[in-house]
Amino acid sequence: MSTQERLIETTRELLWERGYVGTSPKAILQRAGVGQGSMYHHFTGKPDLALAAIRRTGEELRASVDRLLDSRESAYGRVEAYLLRERDVLRGCPVGRLTMDPEVLASDELRAPVDETIAYVRDRLATVVEEGVDRGEFAAHLVPDDVAAAIVATVQGGYVLARASGATDAFDAGVRGLLALLRRTDRA
């Protein structure tokens, strides 16, 4: 792996673990086993390197959501697949967590890939929910865009509950609760 690659991958790890404010160039360089000069050769500085890292993390997340939702299962099955997907719950979402970072939010450039990624996931889920409503899998009065927002929010918020308690239980409970709410009770 090239030095540039090593820097991006290491930055992705540290952004996930400690956020933007909590990640110093020095920490990146030490973990990557690279000297100061290399970083400033390939990138203009910390924001530039972080931007490359965030963009890649967003791409990967979108690709993984595509894999989960591009199945021929029922709409419920695909929502379930998204919610029950294997996750390192206590690590949280590598994209969502950046929304709690003051410097990321203050920079339109750093925030853009975060925004695009989350909007993409919500949009893809909305399409699935719409199909589910059309097919009668979900209740007819549901607004796909709103339900999709609730699904993504349940996941993002589930991380908050789990991390607060130091255990994954609360995340799983929230997912179970949402799935129960999605199941129709007005027919067999």
Partner DNA sequence: GTCTATATGCCGATAGAC
Partner DNA sequence: GTCTATCGGCATATAGAC
Site string for DNA, 21-40 (x = CB under 7 A): --xxxxx------xxxxx-x
Size of the site for a copy of itself (CB under 8 A): 63
Give the nearest distance from C-beta 90 to a copy of itself in angstroms.
9
Longest Cα–Cα distance in the chain: 66
Q: What is the DSSP string of 136-188?
A: TSS-TT--HHHHHHHHHHHHHHHHHHHHHHTSSHHHHHHHHHHHHHHS--S--
Binding range to a copy of itself, per CB under 8 A, among 11-19, 30-38, 64-72, 74-82: 11-19
Backbone angles phi, psi at 26, to 5 degrees: -60, -45
Give the nearest distance from C-beta 107 to a copy of itself in angstroms.
11
Q: Which of 31, 46, 56, 111 binds DNA (CB under 7 A)?
A: 46
Give the nearest distance from C-beta 143 to a copy of itself in angstroms.
7
Contact between 119 and a copy of itself (CB under 8 A)? yes
Residue 141's CB is within 10 A of a number of other CB atoms, namely 6
User: Closest CB to DNA among 4 and 168?
Assistant: 4
Decide: helix, strand or coil at residue 95: coil
Decide: helix, strand or coil at residue 85: coil
Contact between 42 and DNA (CB under 7 A)? yes
